[in-house]
Every structure is written in structure tokens, then in C-alpha cells.
Amino acid sequence: MSNQDAVSMDKPSTEAIPMVECENLVKIYKTAEIEVVALQGLDLVVEAGEFMAIIGNSGSGKSTLLNMLGGLDRPSAGTLLVDGKDLLKFTDRQLVEYRRDTVGFVWQNNARNLIPYLTAQQNVELPMLFTGKARSERAAELLEIVGLTQRRHSKLMQLSGGEQQRVAIAIALANNPRMILADEPTGAVDNRTATQILSVLRKLSETYKVTIIIVTHDRQISRSVDRVAAIRDGRTSSEFIRRKSYAEELAELGDELSEDEETHEELVVLDRVGRMQIPKEYMDALGLTGKNKIRVEMEGNRIVLVNPESE
């Protein structure tokens, strides 16, 4: 890698501000006959250089959030700051520049990242053309970072699914973004390949201080990232925080983490007005349907929720 590029990718942010700040974020989709609230007051903070995931079932709002973080869609209300910039105030031209310079995308569907009749290197060079900085040397360096030096002149049909996804990661890095958004990056590959892809993303996060946000429905990905924010019904419901650093866990458990090892602690998110979402398994255990009234009691330093109908 050239000295100039090494400096541009490796220089950590000196700003104390978070990379992402969402406060009371709302997104409403309207048609002539229907109105759908995709996000209803979501709060989320992502620190610069963080390696984290956002999980949720279909319809939870995670893809809507991804599109707004990537500048592909605009919020209906609330606050959305990325790298200290208010995306709600951006003009269309500023959004284009934001998508080009600040954020990189890795999609589950490779057709959104890759052009099949080009080689791996030509695919990586393509986004640089829009900034007038296309260089074969730079593209080769990025493919080396993701472990594809020997495959850089291969066309996509000659690459495996995992190799294609690593080309997509190199493309996401082409214009030195501050943040990478990965939409189900392991959804179309087997477990072994998924582990390799997540390892590449973690290396990028640790080495180049790039903020990486993975959006997925797969809770197993939480074992590979430092923090997970769970979204349900358009709001952040809970977060999974790593008990120990990833390096400490590997040192204690060997090269692979045990599938039975609990790596994260789940914490329910309390919003600014005191609302929270009770985990579904707890509601099921108490026989709550979402229409019940519950009693809230203080017991020492604990808040206890009681279903009066069960007493």
C-alpha cells in the first residue's frame, strides 16, 4: 500500500462526536390508501470506529434505518446525525456527495455491488471513476486487504460467493469512507465463509478505524461483533454488550469461540421518557399479550413488573 493511502485509511478520527446519532427517529411511508410507520421514535448512538450489528425480524425497521443511514431515504421526523452532519438538512446534491465520500455499502445481493463481465480489479476501480481517482494500484491494494491478490484478474463467474462478497467489501472501501453499512453480508454463504467475511470486516474495523454497521436478522452474528442493537416495532428494544473484548475471549477459548459460551449481556433500552420494550419471551412467560395492564413496584434497587391477573 502506498504511504498516501495508508495515512488516509489509518488515521483515526480526532473528533469526540459519535459517528451516528439517532434521536426519536420516525419514518412514515404513505400511499393514497395506506400509511405505514416503519420507525417510531428510534434512538441509537454508534461511536466512531465501532464494529456493531443491528438485528431484527422482517418488518422491524432495520432496513429502513439502513437506507436512512446510507442517505438512500430521508426520515419523516427526528434527528439523524452522521459524522456530526445533519442528514435531514442535506440537499439532494449533498446526499449524493455523502453516499460517494462518507459511506460504503456491502449488499447481500451481489448484483447491487458487482458487474459480472468485469474482473475483480475492474469492479473495484469503477467507483473511483466518479471521483476521478481511479488507479489500478489502489484497487490492487484493496484486493490485497481482503485477501484476493491472486484473484484480482478473475471475472465474477470464476469466483465463489465468499470471494465475490470480499470483492464487494473492497469496493465499499474504494473511496475511503468513514462508515461501512453491510446489509446481510453473510446471508447467502455457508457458515465457514460467513466466518471469513466477518473476520475481514473486523480486521478493517480494528486496523483502519472504519465504523462498520452490519444489518441482519441472524442473532449468531452477535458473537462476532462488539455490540448489537435489537430493533422491534420500529424502536430500539435492547442491546447486547460484549462481556469481554474479542481478543480476550480468543485468548481464553482458543482460535474459535465455543457455541455454548455466552459472549454478550442483553440490556433493555430505556428511552428518554422511560419507555421500554419487554423481551417477548418474558411477556410469554407472564402471559402478557400487549393489551394487559401491569403493576410496577420498587423492591430495593429493583423495578419489578407484575401481571395482576396471574396473582
Q: Is the pLDDT of residue 292 over 80?
A: no
Three-state DSSP class for residue 304: strand
In the chain the domains, ranked by start, together with CATH numbers, are 3-102+177-277 (3.40.50.300), 278-311 (no CATH)
Q: Which residue has the higher pLDDT, 267 or 14?
A: 267
Contacts of residue 69, defined as CB under 8 A and 6 or more positions apart, other chains included, come to: 20, 80, 82, 103, 179, 181, 213
pTM of the model: 0.79
User: What average pLDDT does this structure show over 114-133?
Assistant: 86
- What rounded mean pLDDT belongs to the chain? 82
Question: Quick one: pLDDT band at residue 248, thresholds 50, 70, 90?
Answer: low
- Give CA angle at 8 (176, 198), nearest 5°: 50
Q: Is the pLDDT of residue 98 over 80?
A: yes
Alpha-carbon span 194 to 127, nearest angstrom = 25
- According to the model, what pLDDT value does residue 238 have? 80
Q: Is the pLDDT of residue 257 over 50?
A: no
Alpha-carbon span 280 to 294, nearest angstrom = 15
Look at residues 95, 45, 57 and name the one whose alpha carbon lies nearest to residue 74. 95
User: What average pLDDT does this structure show over 187-203?
Assistant: 87
Burial-class residue 187 by CB neighbours within 10 Å (0-12, 13-18, 19+). middle
Look at residues 192, 105, 121, 111 and name the one whose alpha carbon lies nearest to residue 154. 121
Three-state DSSP class for residue 76: coil
pLDDT tens digit sequence for 45-81:
999 999 999 988 888 889 999 999 999 999 999 999 9
Q: Which residue has the higher pLDDT, 131 or 20?
A: 20
Alpha-carbon span 129 to 144, nearest angstrom = 20
User: What average pLDDT does this structure show over 148-157?
Assistant: 91
